[in-house]
Each structure stands twice: as C-alpha cells, then as structure tokens.
C-alpha cells in the first residue's frame, strides 16, 4: 500500500484531465473561413432573387441588384401567381401549379408503390431470371431520355392517352422505375433474410409480409423515394413539354413561358417571384424531411 | 411411401444443388417422435440447408420429406406443423412481444380468446409475462431468443427447428439458455431438430447427433457413441476439445492378438473392440483422446504398458492441464490433473487406455 501511495505522488505532477483546446487555432480559422465563403457563394443568388422580387419595377431598373428594396411590395408575387400571361391565358402560374399537383400526386404514389413491390420481390421472392430482369431494369436508366421520346409519343398515341395528364403520369412512373427499384432493392436486402423466413413460417404470404413486416420497417427509404420523386417530377420540364397539351403544362413549363415571353417589358421582379414560387415545393419538402432523408440515404447506402 | 408410425420427421433421398454446387447428396434421415436431434458440422456442411428444406424455406432438387407420416415436400412452411428459431432471433422489430407471439396465430385465423390463452401459456412456460408489452429493441439477447422460442411455442407445432439459436449470445447466457432449451424439451416432449457448429451444445442437448460434412451425414448416433466410437477420422477429429491425438502406425501380430506399432513402441490391442478384421502390416491411425493417456501411472488392467515420451509444453486450463508430448517423433496431448507438476523437457512414462481408443484404416479412414 505504501508503495502505491508514494508512486501516486510521484506520478501526479504534470497535466491532468481533458486536454485544453485553443479557441482560435489556425486550422479552425481555415475551416470556418472556408465555410463562410461557401455559404455566401450559395446564398447570394437567393438573396438577389428575393430582393428583386419584392421591389417595384422603377427600383429594379436602377440596377443595384444586391441592394435591399427601399419600398417593399408584394405586387410582383401576386402578379406572378394570378395575372402573368403565358400565351393565351393570363391567369398566372396558378394554373401550372395545379397542373403540377395533379401530375405529381398520382405519379409519386404510383411509382413508389410499384417500385417498392418490385424491390421487395427482387430481394425476397427471387424467381428464375430475376437477376436478368433487374439488370435490364437498371440498364434502362442509362439510356438517354431523348432516345425514347418519340417511341413513347407513338406508344401513348396508340393507347389513346397522348396529351392527357394520365399519359404524363405513366411516363413519370416508368422513368422513375430503375432508380427507385434499385433504391428499394438495396434497402430491403439490408433487412435480415431470417425475418422474412420467420414471417413465412408464421404463415404470412407475399402481401402479408410486404404490408405487415417490410413496410413498417422501411419508413426512411420511403421518405427518400418520396423526396426524389417529388423533386424530380416537380422539376421536370422535358416530359411536361412533350407529352401534354399547353393548357395542361406543368408549372416549370409555364415558368419558362413567362420568363421567356418576348412581348413587352421584361418584368424581372415578376420573373423572380415566379421562379421562387416554382421552387417552393421541393424546398418545403426538403425542410420538412431533411433528417429522415439523410437517415434513409445512409441506410440505403450501406449495402449494395 | 408408407412411413413407420413412430418417425416424426423422415428425409428420403434428399438432394439439393444450386447450379453446379451440390449442397446435399441423397440424404436419408429418420427422426423419432419426441427426439432431440442435433445436426452438427462446420459451416458450409449443409446442416442449415437441410433444416431450411425441412422447414420448407428451400425447394429441394429431388427426394421427399415426411413430417408425422405426411408427405410435406411441396407444402408451404406454415402447413408443415413446424416452428423455427433463428440465430438472429428474427423478431419483428415494430411489434411488441405479444404482437410477435400472436402474428402467426392471427395469420392462421385464430380467435382472440384463443390467442390470448396461448400467449399467456407460452409466457408462463418461458417466464416472460412481464415482457409482453415491450418492443424487441428493449430486450436483452437472451430475452429475445426466448421470445423467438415462444413464437414457435404458441403455434403448438409438432416439430421445433433451431438454426444455431445460441450463436449470437455470450458464453454465460449461452450455457443458461442451453439448459433452458433442454428443460423445455423435457417438458414439451416435442421433436426438436437443432443445428449447431458447437460440439458442446451438441453433446449436452442431443438424444442423437448427426455429424455432417460435405452434404453427407458422416455418423448418426447418440452423443456417447459419437464421442467414444467415431465412425471415421473426420468425426473423431471434429468431436472433442482438445481434439483426439492421431498417431501413425502399423498393425503387427503380437502373442495372442494384434498390436499397433507406433515407431519403436508396440501397443497391444487387447481390450480394443475391433469391428473389422486387421491384417499384419496394415497402415493405421491410432486415435486416442487426451484424457485416455496417463503419465507416470501405476499399471492397471485397462491400461497399456508404459512407453517413453518427452514433455514439450504445458497448458494449464484451470481444472486440469494439457501436456504436449513428443512420442515416437509424433506430437500428442495428454490431459492431466492440474496438481500433477510437469516441466518442459521432462522425460515421462505414458500409458494408453486402449479400450477407449480408436483405430482407423489409413486407406479409407474408416474405423477398424
């Protein structure tokens, strides 16, 4: 005992406890400096857009794009939403907004429903040729969209739904299939196979296992799929312009028509407001589900 | 095919291959009513595959499976009267313990009263009444495995299938649950098929052990016979820890019987229960377990004469010690009481308990 006591006094001199960290070390200044510069770089365009959209046209013409408005007005937003003219119609972006919503909701639900069942079947109910099926499906995502535009136009025409919202919804569902199936397949294959076996022994069938075992465990990946599809379909321009008639154009196409209209004065404030309005939906989705999104991406990425 | 009445599970000429890889080769197995059968083997020997075939989770390539005399080869798992316990527990994470237990019963369309009654009974048998409202994530490993067993229990199945149920548990819990499974078997008297690579589990639990290798059953016998009279070199080497010593030698005639000649030492085989005839000069492997070698002991009727050996290394193991010896140029280990003191370099006298040794033909590695 004496030995330990004496050795303790001998050892006790010198530093103890947690290692102190310096507040302003060189590396910290570098890290925060870089982060601040990057933040500014990304925030500046947004700043310009928001500021311009709440200025009146006289103020816009002065050309100080970074300056905050002297007189705040929401007139441009109102105009963009309900009065701006695109072609024959002068009811603003609201028409395109509702078109987009009518395209978005069925497309998202349909594509996620089909792709999740695809992924589940590919992992747990492997059939003869399921690997080849999967390979072909994935290969589909490498073919450029432009190559398929014309054949699909013909296909939809033959089906009698060319130019309708349902035609566009079908196209969105099909083009969402490869990436979504991959996503769901990878997620489901990270769920232990024994769980699936146990459910089979317990007498659950294909749908029983899907709805009562797999679905409740897969919320994160459904959120990821939801975000991918909502932003992807909302931001789509090409399919919208090709597959529907002008009065059914989605919001993005209408935005383009407003911004690129050649008659009259360029109303930058209205254009900015219209752009902000169009980008609002994906933005809101990101804000609501950011945490779940990261979790889902991480979970899906573990196993390939 | 007409089956014997008292066989609970019968496997007939079962083969399974994935592409070019043969996992099970025309395998035959009869498991008696109420028997505890352990499928033992290294990973990749096909034991889990066999269990999955019996459960109906894998389609067989050819052959038949009977449970209670009924041909179930093409039946769904739920219709076979089996319950299965998995290594990873495989509890449904989003359901409570009660939800896990009732899932199978709900699928089978049982009334709520009956479900509650069965859950209460299973909870009582497995002593987990207080856990019923918890989620699996809130349970310890041992409790989870108990719930997994309960899931088979509530369904009132004929045959319990265990797929390495204790491999994910730590050593202490493993031995506790081992006893619990044995107790459960004594109480329920169900047929149980248990897959493991752990020979201790196999020896302690089994009524009979099927030692498997390369998709074939090498030996199917009681633990006692498996341990003391292994059919071939593979079984002899796989069972027992530390493993059996194998000494190369030849058969030679001696006095009134045969003897095995290891280097310059001639060990008479009087008392060895030979099953096949031996011939002079035949190359054999003389297998003797570490606990059947005595060091510096007095002569008794069941022990062989004494021979010279050198001590190379001592491994103390608590209750006893393992002594590594050099005997006629070949290494072997002897298990001695830890009170016996030996040192590396010591010269010792060894005696073999020939009656409990094993002899294998070197050519076909089967027991003589």
Contact B90 A212 (CB under 8 A): no
Q: Decide if A93 contacts A274 (C-beta within 8 A).
A: yes
pLDDT on residue A113: 97
Residues of chain A scoring pLDDT < 50: 1, 300-304
**B chain contacts of residue A194, beta-carbon cutoff 8 Å:** 86-88, 90, 163
pLDDT on residue B5: 58
Nearest to B88 among A192, A202, A203 (CB): A192
Residue-wise pLDDT tens digits, B222-232: 999 999 999 99
Residue-wise pLDDT tens digits, B267-310: 998 888 888 888 888 999 999 999 999 998 888 888 888 999 99
Q: Which helix (H) or strand (E) holds B209?
A: strand B208-213
Tokens of B9: 């599970």
pLDDT at residue B142 above 80?
Answer: yes
- Looking at the complex, does the CB of residue B108 fall below 8 Å from at least one CB of chain A? yes
End-to-end CA distance of chain A: 58
Residue-wise pLDDT tens digits, B164-208: 999 888 888 899 999 999 999 999 999 999 999 999 999 999 999
In the β-sheet with B257-262, what is the strand arrangement from edge to edge? B265-268, B257-262, B245-254, B283-288, B358-361
Residue-wise pLDDT tens digits, B147-166: 999 999 999 999 999 999 99
pLDDT on residue A28: 87
Distance CA B17, CA B214 (A): 12
**B chain contacts of residue A216, beta-carbon cutoff 8 Å:** 94
Q: Please, which pLDDT band fits residue B2 given cuts at 50, 70 and 90?
A: very low
**B chain contacts of residue A197, beta-carbon cutoff 8 Å:** 52, 55, 57, 84, 86, 90
Residue-wise pLDDT tens digits, B37-93: 999 999 889 999 999 999 999 999 999 999 998 999 999 999 999 999 999 889 999
pLDDT on residue B310: 94
Contact A197 B108 (CB under 8 A): no
Contact A201 B83 (CB under 8 A): yes
**What one-character DSSP code corresponds to residue A67?**
S
pLDDT on residue B102: 95
CA distance A113 to chain B (A): 21
């Amino acid at each position: 005992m004496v030995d330990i006591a004496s050795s303790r006094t001998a050892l006790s001199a010198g530093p103890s406890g947690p290692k102190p960290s310096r507040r302003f070390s060189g590396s910290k200044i570098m890290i925060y400096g870089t982060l601040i510069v990057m933040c500014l770089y990304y925030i500046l365009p947004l700043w310009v857009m928001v500021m311009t959209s709440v200025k009146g046209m006289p103020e816009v013409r002065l050309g100080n794009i970074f300056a905050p408005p002297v007189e705040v007005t929401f007139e441009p937003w109102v105009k963009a939403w309900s009065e701006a003219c695109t072609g024959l119609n002068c009811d603003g972006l609201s028409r395109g907004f509702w078109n987009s919503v009518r395209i978005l909701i069925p497309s998202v639900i349909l594509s996620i429903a089909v792709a999740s069942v695809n992924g589940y079947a590919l992992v747990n109910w492997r059939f003869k040729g399921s690997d080849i099926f999967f390979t072909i499906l994935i290969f589909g995502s490498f073919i450029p969209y432009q190559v398929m535009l014309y054949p699909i136009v013909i296909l939809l025409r033959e089906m009698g739904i060319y130019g309708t919202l349902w035609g566009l919804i079908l196209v969105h569902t099909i083009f969402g299939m490869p990436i979504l199936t991959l996503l769901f397949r990878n997620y489901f294959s990270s769920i232990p196979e024994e769980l699936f076996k146990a459910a089979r022994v317990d007498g659950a069938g294909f749908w029983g296992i899907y709805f009562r075992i797999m679905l409740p465990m897969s919320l994160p990946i459904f959120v990821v799929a939801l975000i991918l599809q909502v932003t992807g379909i909302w931001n789509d321009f090409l399919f919208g312009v090709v597959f529907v008639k002008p009065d059914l154009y989605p919001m993005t196409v209408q935005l383009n028509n407003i911004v690129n209209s050649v008659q009259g004065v360029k109303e930058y404030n209205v254009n900015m407001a219209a752009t902000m309005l169009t980008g609002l939906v994906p933005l809101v989705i990101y804000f609501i589900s950011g945490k779940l999104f990261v979790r889902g991406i991480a979970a899906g990425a573990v196993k390939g | 095919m007409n089956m014997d009445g008292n066989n609970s599970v019968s496997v007939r000429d079962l083969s399974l291959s994935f592409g070019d890889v043969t996992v099970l080769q025309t395998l035959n197995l009869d498991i008696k009513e109420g028997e505890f059968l352990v499928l033992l083997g290294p990973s990749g020997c096909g034991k889990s595959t066999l269990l999955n075939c019996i459960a109906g989770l894998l389609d067989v390539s050819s052959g038949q499976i009977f449970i209670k005399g009924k041909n179930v080869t093409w039946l769904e798992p739920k219709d076979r009267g089996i319950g299965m316990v998995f290594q990873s527990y495989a509890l449904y994470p989003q359901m409570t313990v009660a939800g896990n237990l009732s899932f199978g019963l709900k699928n089978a369309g049982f009334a709520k009263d009956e479900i509650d009654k069965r859950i209460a009974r299973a909870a009582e048998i497995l002593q987990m009444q207080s856990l019923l409202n918890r989620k699996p994530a809130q349970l310890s490993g041992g409790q989870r495995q108990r719930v997994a067993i309960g899931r088979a229990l509530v369904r009132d199945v004929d045959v319990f299938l265990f797929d390495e149920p204790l491999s994910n548990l730590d050593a202490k819990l493993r031995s506790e649950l081992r006893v619990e499974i044995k107790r459960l078997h004594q109480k329920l008297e169900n047929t149980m098929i248990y897959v493991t690579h752990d020979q201790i589990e196999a020896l302690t639990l089994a009524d009979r052990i099927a030692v498997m290798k390369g998709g074939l059953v090498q030996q199917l016998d009681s633990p006692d016979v498996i341990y003391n009279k292994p059919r071939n070199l593979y079984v002899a080497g796989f069972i027992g820890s530390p493993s059996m010593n194998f000494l190369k030698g030849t058969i030679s005639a001696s006095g009134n019987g045969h003897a095995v000649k290891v280097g310059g030492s001639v060990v008479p085989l009087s008392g060895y229960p030979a099953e096949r005839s031996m011939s002079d000069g035949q190359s054999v492997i003389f297998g003797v377990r570490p606990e059947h070698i005595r060091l510096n002991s007095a002569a008794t009727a069941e022990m062989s004469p004494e021979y010279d050996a050198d001590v190379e290394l001592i491994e103390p193991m608590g209750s006893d010690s393992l002594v590594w010896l050099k005997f006629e140029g070949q290494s072997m280990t002897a298990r001695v009481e830890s009170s016996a003191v030996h040192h590396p370099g010591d010269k010792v006298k060894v005696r073999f308990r020939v009656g409990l040794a094993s002899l294998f033909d070197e050519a076909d590695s089967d027991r003589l």
